[in-house]
Amino acid sequence: MSKFKQTIIITNDHTMVSFQDRGLNYGDGFFTTARINDASIEHWPLHKARLIECAARLAFPTLDVMAIENASLQAIGDIQSGILKIVITRGSGGRGYGLPEAPSIQVLITVLPAVAHYKTWQEQGVSLAISSIKLAHQPVLAGLKTLNRLEQVLIKNQMNTLNCDDVVVLDINDNVIESSAANLFAIKNEQIFSPQLNNCGITGVYLKSLCAKLAIEFKQISVEELLAMDAVFMCNSLMGVVPVAAITDTQFDITRSKALLATQFAKENV
């Protein structure tokens, strides 16, 4: 791969993408979604690291992340609260699945309104069902936020038939992995656990930020083990930390859950 071109587009209602774009045809790309707070990008170093890791593992050329950051800040302007979405595709070219010799990387930057109900979720907790749609194993892609999200699309569609705020998603071996669009972590006997993501699932930026503040052990977790936890939480870059009030028929006291998490933060910051 001798040379490549990187094109950055700040999107609007009239933005058009080529029908030949590999992101559209093959899901050949990746993305990150960040919270805008006070006209800045929360956890930008971790989002930048995600883009760099995705590019490397998916055999993209080295990105000009400084240009992406500058364009993102330009798109944000003086917006105080919202969502920044950065989508990166390999552009057009190549024969079939074969990679183009000189890819034309497309960077699509979009600013969206903030999600209003996340504050209510943080305060009141959420109710989860368990999805019957399970994640396949693909260690080569595990952890990455690729454009291939058909599993999540089907999971979200199934949620429309369930009386819940979100779902617990399992892998093909019935290990707990994540929710439909967030990571999970839990507390048991003053220890924090989160599902292993070696074979599938997305390594979230917010979860990574928590790893810098809390001692989190990543392990295989069964549904039975999850239901026996003292507290369970969802987290992602947009919602922050949300306590789980119920998983199917198992109830969690979210006042106690919040207190247990506060104790963990206090313990790690002594």
Q: Which among 68, 84, 112 is the end of a domain?
A: 112
Specify the pLDDT at position 1. 46
Query: Based on the domain organization, do 204 and 99 belong to the same domain?
Result: no
- Tell me if 200 sits within 8 A of 174, measured CB to CB: no
pTM summary value: 0.95
Domains contained in the chain, number: 2
Q: Give the domain extent around 174.
A: 118-268
Query: Based on the domain organization, do 40 and 132 belong to the same domain?
Result: no
- pLDDT tens for each residue of 8-40: 999 999 999 999 999 999 999 999 999 999 999
By annotation, the residues acting in catalysis are 33, 145, 178
Strand locations in the chain (E):
5-10, 29-37, 40-41, 81-89, 104-112, 126-130, 166-170, 176-179, 183-188, 191-195, 216-219, 231-236, 240-247, 250-251
**What percentage of the chain has pLDDT greater than the value 70?**
99
DSSP code for 198: S
Query: Based on the domain organization, do 107 and 132 belong to the same domain?
Result: no
